[in-house]
């Protein structure tokens, strides 16, 4: 009976669509794709948080570039207040990320619950292939997050929750990232291509890692500029020196 309860709990903790029925969207970078088990899982929710308020633009660009790789329609859902504070997305800035403005559907939500509802409805729409929600309201209701994961699994759609800063609340997201801007390489003509410091801090499929990624608007893809060692998940935690073993 206890073992059955454990299996039930593990199944509930696993994000919907995690098994990869909808496939994965590869980064095209061996180290990242290996960590993710082939790429970013479709049919699942992914959380991308800015390292701080100053890095919201970088996290936004990173998220849009990932969504644009689907080569299909993208739905962007944001709260009225966020649009008033930061402004709407600029069409001219979407092109270098590989996202034509006519492929983007923008939705303004009056209240946080409206934003979550609009995301869920967009995920269930077969005409949309990636959904991004810009969340600036602190913690997110765990039931709402679960509903988003289920909606993404049902349609096989990529779902992204873009957050203004890292969060510690519980989530059924398949991955969690912290993204910030990092200096570009110098060139004879000035600064080079934009670079992103991407930290994979939660990965249901295994290892974590940190990478410096450079975006090429001519190739419309990321390349690896620098990598830190990928952490291998520990099977158990060793006791600290001097710590007493529990009786």
b/e per residue, 171-192, with b = 16+ CB within 10 A?
A: bbbbbbbbbbbbeeeeeeeeee
pLDDT at 47 over 70: yes
| Higher local confidence (pLDDT), 211 or 21 | 211
Most confident of 82-91, 132-141, 148-157: 148-157
Can you list the domains of the chain with their CATH numbers? 20-183+190-227 (3.40.50.300)
pTM above threshold 0.75: yes
Instruction: Dump pLDDT digits (tens) for 48-63.
Output: 999 998 999 999 999 9
What is the average pLDDT across 86-107? 89
Structure-token match 């110098």, residue found: 186
Is the distance from CB of 145 to CB of 45 less than 8 angstroms?
yes
């Amino acid at each position: 009976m206890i073992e059955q309860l454990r299996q039930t709990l593990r199944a509930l903790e696993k994000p919907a669509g995690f098994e990869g029925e909808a496939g994965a969207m590869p980064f095209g970078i061996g180290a990242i794709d290996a960590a993710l088990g082939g790429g970013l899982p479709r049919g699942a929710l992914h959380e991308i948080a800015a390292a701080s308020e100053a890095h919201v633009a970088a996290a936004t660009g990173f998220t849009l570039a990932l969504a644009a790789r689907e080569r299909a329609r993208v739905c962007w859902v944001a709260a009225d207040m966020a649009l008033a504070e930061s402004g709407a997305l600029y069409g001219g800035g979407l092109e270098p990320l590989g996202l034509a403005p006519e492929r983007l559907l923008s939705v303004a939500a009056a209240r946080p619950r409206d934003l979550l509802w609009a995301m869920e409805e967009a995920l269930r729409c077969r005409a949309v292939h990636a959904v991004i929600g810009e969340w600036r309201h602190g913690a997110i209701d765990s039931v709402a997050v679960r509903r988003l994961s289920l909606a993404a699994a049902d349609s096989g759609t990529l779902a992204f929750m873009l957050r203004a800063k890292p969060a510690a609340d519980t989530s059924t997201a398949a991955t969690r990232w912290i993204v910030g801007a990092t200096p570009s390489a110098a060139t004879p003509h000035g600064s080079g291509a934009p670079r992103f410091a991407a930290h994979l801090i939660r990965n249901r499929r295994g290892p974590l890692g940190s990478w410096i990624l450079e975006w090429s608007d001519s190739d419309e893809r990321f390349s690896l500029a620098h990598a830190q060692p990928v952490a291998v998940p520990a099977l158990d935690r060793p006791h600290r020196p001097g710590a007493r073993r529990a009786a």
